Structure 1
Amino acid sequence: MTLKECLDECMEALDLFLNNHFSESLERLRPRVNESMYHALIYATVLEMQAMMTFQHDDISSAGNTMKKAQEGQFTPKSTLQRTFPFLQHDRTRYYIIFLLHAEVCFAECQLQRAALTLLQVNEHICILSPRELHSLIKSHSCLKGPSHKHFEGGISFGMGAFNLTLSLFPPRILKVLEFAGFSGDKEYGLSLLRDSATRMNLRSMLCALLLLCYYTFLTFILGTGEGEVEEAERLLKPFQLHYPRGAIFLFFAGRTEEIKGNIDEAVALFEDGCKAQQEWQQFHHMCYWELMWCFTYKRAWKMAYFYADLLSQESRWSKAMYVYMKAAYLSMLPDDETRPFGEDEVELFRKVPTFKQKIAGKSPPTEKFAIRKARRYKASCPIKPPVPVLEMMYMWNGFSMISKRPELTEGMMQTLEEAERSLLEGPENEYSVDDRCVIHLLKGLCLKNQGHLLAAEECFQKLFSSEKKIRFDHYLVPNCLVELSLLYVNQGRRDEAIKLLQKAKHNYKEYSMESRTQFRIHAALAKLKVNPGEEEDTDL
């Protein structure tokens, strides 16, 4: 097959994939994985998407081995390109160079995806030519352009865009270690490259679109300051929804955008449609179950949320400890005299959480470690019930920002928190009392902020901060309280005070639960305030 024929067939396979014909897509690609670099790359990419959703060892190994095989088969020494460029006037050599350049893009993309798959850092010496070098070469030799050029440019845009966008998310101290190959971590440049490629019909359009949708609806929301970029996500989704109206992937992201907007019922309908759209890959169902669990959490429908946590605990391999913890947490929110679904007992479930601990690339997921730490209080023969474990975990996923656009949802959460606060005040003092009251202060502050009661919200955060030296277990509370108070100050135009609090949270607290998440949020907040490195250094802590 010619290069053009390979690319056309891979585009057809991707079209099948986006229309939920997953097996047919793989069958179209499989016969040529050993003879076509693009068949090998796209085949490995589909397997990687499956592995990322299942977290099953066999799927991860298969995807990793396939990606490695695809990469090793397309290795092209830099010197070969350099020797051949002087002879570009010959058509045969010109075609050979185009082929080699496509191979270089495939090689770099394989490396990027292998790094994502194994959760390891990319070594700067692995890539032969960086996407930036390839971009310069193709610009300076216009004779290399041809029918396959849009796919080549798409590969460069995906590589450069992904690197720049990813690096821009990291705090400066990590960025110094990760910056390489001339990339500066320029977020706007990375986004522009990805947007441009996502809206053109090339082989990487889907990958660019999915990366952008993840960024707009998850990364900016969970690791940022909680706004999300809904308008950008909707603009990007629109053509894909028209072309693939029953595409499970796009139904999922449409649901996510409605969720961020606070349209919970509309989000539920889209996630349910996503489950109905296909039955071949259950992993897509698990993604929808996770979001449905949170949607019913925002509505305080604890039993419905429990139902989806239970489904995940039975079917998904991603983090059973997290799912079992959430099941127990939802049951603990029910009145003591209310019947538990399936006759389950939250105390026994909490005690089982540590037994499901797993390691990915040698480390446990941060949310899983958090759940295990919180479940420790159930080791006692007469455990002390946590006040609002569901709402505490909801905070870790920035759920209070999610409900900020719906006053009735915030009001419901405030009622739950006030009831928990009354129970704490009426109950006897114990070793967890201060920590539990501080959890309530943090979450009430967020609700009050949502309701526009900024002075009352600040008072809640200040109460928590004044109890810093009395906190015994939940040391994550103080740095996160400082972040939330700083964001409150940002809304009030108190920029200098906000920066001081962010710097204090950044430098004065270490080794607490979910620290990386908090550091990412601090970095995002400082970036939002356009704080330059010199200004950071001059800040008086």
Structure 2
Amino acid sequence: MTELLIASEMKGTLRNPLVCMTLLGWHLIASYLVGWAQPDVKLCEKLIVPLSRDYPNGAIALFLKARLYLVKGDIENAIYFYGRSIEVQNVYKQFHHVCYWELLFAYSYLRKWDKAANHAKKLLDESKWSRCCYTYMLAMLIDADKGVPKREETVRYLLEKVPKLRLRIAGKSIPVEKFCEKKVLRYHRQGRLLFTHYEFMYFWNGFTILENNRELIKPILEDIEAIWKEEQSDDKDDYGLYLLLKGVSHRNLGELLDAEWCFLKILEIERFLTDYSYVTPNACFELAQTRKGMGRNDEVRPLLEKALSYRGYSLETKLHFRIHAAMENLENK
């Protein structure tokens, strides 16, 4: 990393733009994939300037600029530059698909479910990565938009396709596809999708990104509360997921006591969580982050170790990345 930073200062060299893109890729994308999610925004703002100047119509430069705006919480500008990245080239369609994925989440942060669903449909029509995942995402986004005609029939039709679209690579299932199928099986038992759009947003670092724009978190929290008030489910799994999303929202708003109450409540009902067993380890991790925010640092590592001790739940590897990154961060400090 030190060598990359030195090379990024070598203006006018062949390696400079490559190094800048590598550093931006790490801070803005890879750091979220491995659970670190602590980009050096000031460094990124510095690195993007020469790239934007030298390659004003470069698809990668525009994409990275969009991603920087997204990470900073400026969603509208992010959407604009993702669109520009798509417009400037038509050779590598796969790069369009990456932009569609980003736009899907960007519109979800704004709760513009119709536009998010439009990009999910584009991915389903054009991308071959995971038709199972794209179909599930399209269904949950249509379900989130209460104004869609024949919404329930469309959602049911799409979800019935999901199990048939699962792929196996060397005999192994793709974890996110397995997660989608489990959600569909629960839908068939319960007859509804509850909080699935916010749940997916959580697992793909959406709430982490929105920490930089609290004005977007407030309406999301209000929507979560309104959905729960309307549903009033007696199901403990539904209640656990509601508490997790509510707690994360409170933590992002700096309301740490409210967040702590939500996560502790999840730990109280842990034994009743069957379909959503993944809620408990994620709540344990979020409680560790909340206690860290409270300055109770001596309680953070035991909670992270407890979260790490859970086994056999959905999307386990994604949480393990976050836990190990949090532990490494503690050691560095």
TM range (shorter): over 0.9
Give ranges in structure 2 of 5+ residues lacking alignment. none
8 Å CA contact retained: 1:283, 1:316: yes
Q: Which digits, 9 at most, give the CA deviation of each residue in 1:502-523, with x for residues without a partner?
A: 01111x2112111111111111
Q: Find the counterpart in structure 1 of residue 154 from structure 2.
A: 345
Amino acid in the other structure paired with 2:292: V
Q: Determine the structure 2 residue equivalent to 1:488.
A: 290
User: Which protein shows a greater Rg?
Assistant: 1
Aligned to 1:419: 226
Deviations 1:475-507 (A, max 9, x none): 11111111111111111111110111001111x
1:211 aligned residue: 22
Does residue 400 of structure 1 match 2:211?
no
Q: Does 1:262 align with 2:64?
A: no
The answer to whether 1:236 aligns with 2:47 is yes
How far does the alpha carbon of each residue in 1:514-540 deviate from its partner, in whole angstroms, 9 at most, with x for none? 1111111111111111179xxxxxxxx
Residues 127-526 of structure 1: pairs in structure 2 closer than 5 A = 191-200=1-10, 207-335=18-146, 338-339=148-149, 345-360=154-169, 363-380=172-189, 383-425=190-232, 427=233, 429=234, 433-506=235-308, 508-526=309-327
The share of aligned pairs that are identical, in percent, is 34
Say which SS state the counterpart of residue 331 (structure 2) adopts.
Answer: coil
State the SS of the aligned residue for 1:345.
Answer: helix
CA distance in 2, matches of 1:229, 1:344: 45
How far did residue 355 of structure 1 move?
A: 1.7
1:110 corresponds in structure 2 to none
Distance 2:176 2:6 in 1: 34
Query: How much does 1:202 deviate?
Result: 6.1
Distance 2:33 2:259 in 1: 21
Say if 1:331 and 1:340, in contact at 8 Å, map to a contact too.
no
Alignment of 1:38-187 (within 5 A): none
TM-score by length of 2: 0.93
Give the letter aligned to residue 55 of structure 2. Answer: Y
Partners of 1:222 and 1:248 in 2: how far apart?
A: 22
Classify 1:363/1:196 alpha carbon distance in 2 versus 1 (closer, same or farther; 3 Å).
farther
Distance 2:127 2:241 in 1: 30
Q: Deviations over 1:431-489 (max 9, x none)?
A: xx111111110010011112221101100111111111000111111111111111111
Which deviates more from structure 2 when the two are superposed, residues 265-274 or residues 395-404? Answer: 395-404
Deviates more, 1:353-362 or 1:320-329: 353-362
Name the CA shift for 1:228/1:315 in 2 (closer, same or farther; >3 Å). same
* Structure with more relative contact order (C-alpha pairs < 8 Å, separation 6 or more): 2
Q: How many residues align?
A: 332
User: Residues 36 and 322 of structure 2 are in contact (CA less than 8 Å); yes or no, is this contact kept in structure 1?
Assistant: yes
Q: Which runs of 5+ in 1 are unaligned?
A: 1-190, 533-541
Distance 1:354 1:228, change over 3 A: farther
Q: Please, what is the CA RMSD of the aligned residues?
A: 2.2
Work out whether residues 289 and 312 of structure 1, in 8 Å CA contact, stay in contact via their aligned partners in 2. yes
Residue 313 of structure 1 aligns to which amino acid in structure 2? L
In structure 2, what residue type is equivalent to 1:492?
A: M
- 1:360 Cα deviation (Å)? 4.4
Which secondary structure does the structure 1 equivalent of 2:57 belong to?
coil
How far residue 223 of structure 1 moved from its aligned partner, in angstroms, is: 2.9
Residue 446 to residue 345, structure 1, CA distance change in 2 (3 Å): same
**Structure 2 contact 27–38 (Cα < 8 Å) conserved:** no
Contact 1:351–1:379 (Cα < 8 Å) also in 2: no
**Which TM-score applies when normalising by structure 1?**
0.58
